[in-house]
Structure 1
Amino acid sequence: MTNFPFKGLVLSMLCNFVTLACSDEDRTVRTKPIEKSEKKAFRILILGDSLTEGFGVLEREAYPHLLEEKLNRELSAKTGSAYRVINGGITGATSSGGVSRIDWFLQAEPDYLILALGGNDGLRGVPVTETEENLSEILATAGKNEIPALLAGMKIPPNYGLTYTSDFAQMYEDLSKLHDVPRIPFLLEGVGGEAQFNLPDRIHPNPAGHALIAETVYKTLAPQLQKIP
């Protein structure tokens, strides 16, 4: 794995981000039911936080939308499927919030889950064992519903010590093995800490950063989708 180059990512910025995350975590995000498919398309749910929601960019610039376009442009001809990506990103979302919302999101009847949570847990110093239990529960719920999953790994700065940082990164590898699901080693590969790919807060990706994330996800996701009958 490539280490996260946290150039200029100072603790004060992270504290501001955590404050933002905490304020938005428990807001009511959607009041209408998730729409179900009008025509048969392979539905991919991305359960994530502000990185997935597309904080600070337009919906069409966020990586879930770009991923959907790329799947339909490059993979549909090979698989014979049309693809619909459901953006389940919520600013401030944590792994515990994911547990509480997973059943609601499953109303969308997804055919595949990309789990992209945990980053906010790490920035808040939530015990790794607690985050791991929550993510494991989400993956288990997907398994019980016969929904294949892809786990998107995250890395965090060493604000809580090197042991915590190492254990946090290792958690995703352990979960991947435990639930026998593929894993993206680092969702923000090539984006995290790189000023040209982030908004002025140097935390959230800009449109160029989202384009790179879409490529990263596609690289792992596409081979998995090709295995599905």
Structure 2
Amino acid sequence: MALKDFLPFFLSIAMTIALSAVARAENVSVVAFGDSLMAGYQLPPEDAFPTRLEKALKEKGLDVTIANAGVSGDTTSGGLARIDWSVPDGTKGVILELGANDALRGIPPEETRKNLEAMISRLKERGIAVLLAGMMAPPNMGSDYAARFNPIYPELAREHKLELYPFFLDGVVTEAGLKLDDGMHPNSDGIGTMVERFLPTAERFINSLAKGE
């Protein structure tokens, strides 16, 4: 039998392998890792940021699953303690959002940076990409604290070549109507604003994961 007679068979196998690879690449598994801002403090589960973001991305045609690994009250040290078991094997990317509680508690920014960098390094060692969600120090902490805290996120993103969303609460922090009565956490409308502003960055991040970049 001539070699050409085997070509349809070989092409069929190649096509099956290619389609299988595409199928495996279609769904992107992401973990949203953070504090109460990520967990959806005092909101129904369907209004939590990860759930709303997943829905928005799917409406853009992206096949993505975003697990909510937010823990209310978590600091960067708490996140570092649970990062390994909170992010399961098979995760393609992590949205890392921590540091707000560090600032509220006046934890030295140097410690915050050290913890964030350790989490980033652990995830990178596992081949997991990171989208870093930045935070800013509250005004009551003073200018000196802010000068040490605020540069943490852009510097880490630059040093580790990460996708960065500069300020997670952008569009919400100064709008009383977008926050709960505590004046700190976003309400459902606030989450909607956050998702809308975060979406282009998330879309770029998910597309890069889907392409294996």
TM-score, normalised by the number of residues in structure 2 = 0.83
1:128 equivalent among 105, 109, 116? 109
Q: Following TM superposition, by how much is the alpha carbon of 1:220 offset from its aligned partner in structure 2, in angstroms?
A: 0.8
Matched residue type, 1:119: A
Matches within 5 A, 1:27-176: 41-76=27-62, 82-107=63-88, 109-176=90-157
Q: Distance in 2 between matches of 1:60 and 1:69?
A: 10
Q: Following TM superposition, by how much is the alpha carbon of 1:219 offset from its aligned partner in structure 2, in angstroms?
A: 1.6
Q: Give the secondary structure class of the aligned counterpart of 2:68.
A: strand
CA shift digits 1:128-181 (9 cap, x unpaired): 110000000000011001111110001122323201112211111111111110
Partner of 2:202: 221
- The answer to whether the Cα contact below 8 Å between 1:187 and 1:216 also exists between their aligned partners in 2 is no
CA shift digits 1:23-62 (9 cap, x unpaired): xxxxxxxxxxxxxxxxx73111111100110001111011
TM-score, normalised by the number of residues in structure 1 = 0.78
How many pairs were matched up?
A: 185
* Structure 1 residues not aligned, in runs of 5+: 1-39, 77-81
- The answer to whether the Cα contact below 8 Å between 1:193 and 1:203 also exists between their aligned partners in 2 is no
Q: Distance in 2 between matches of 1:188 and 1:175?
A: 19
Query: Percent identity between the aligned chains?
Result: 35
Partner of 2:172: 191
Q: Distance in 2 between matches of 1:75 and 1:181?
A: 24
Which stretch has the larger CA shift, 114-123 or 164-173? 164-173
Matched residue type, 1:44: V
RMSD of equivalent CA atoms:
1.3
Q: Distance in 2 between matches of 1:110 and 1:214?
A: 21
Q: Give the secondary structure class of the aligned counterpart of 1:146.
A: coil
Q: Distance in 1 between matches of 2:140 and 2:159?
A: 28
- The answer to whether the Cα contact below 8 Å between 2:134 and 2:168 also exists between their aligned partners in 1 is yes
- The answer to whether the Cα contact below 8 Å between 1:111 and 1:148 also exists between their aligned partners in 2 is yes
- The answer to whether the Cα contact below 8 Å between 2:28 and 2:206 also exists between their aligned partners in 1 is no
Q: Following TM superposition, by how much is the alpha carbon of 1:108 offset from its aligned partner in structure 2, in angstroms?
A: 5.4
Matched residue type, 2:34: G
* Bigger-Rg structure (1/2): 2
Matched residue type, 1:193: T
Q: Distance in 2 between matches of 1:108 and 1:56?
A: 30
CA shift digits 1:158-216 (9 cap, x unpaired): 32320111221111111111111011111111101311100111101000000111122
- The answer to whether the Cα contact below 8 Å between 1:158 and 1:164 also exists between their aligned partners in 2 is no
Greater relative CO, 1 or 2 (CA 8 Å, sep 6+) = 1
Matched residue type, 1:54: G
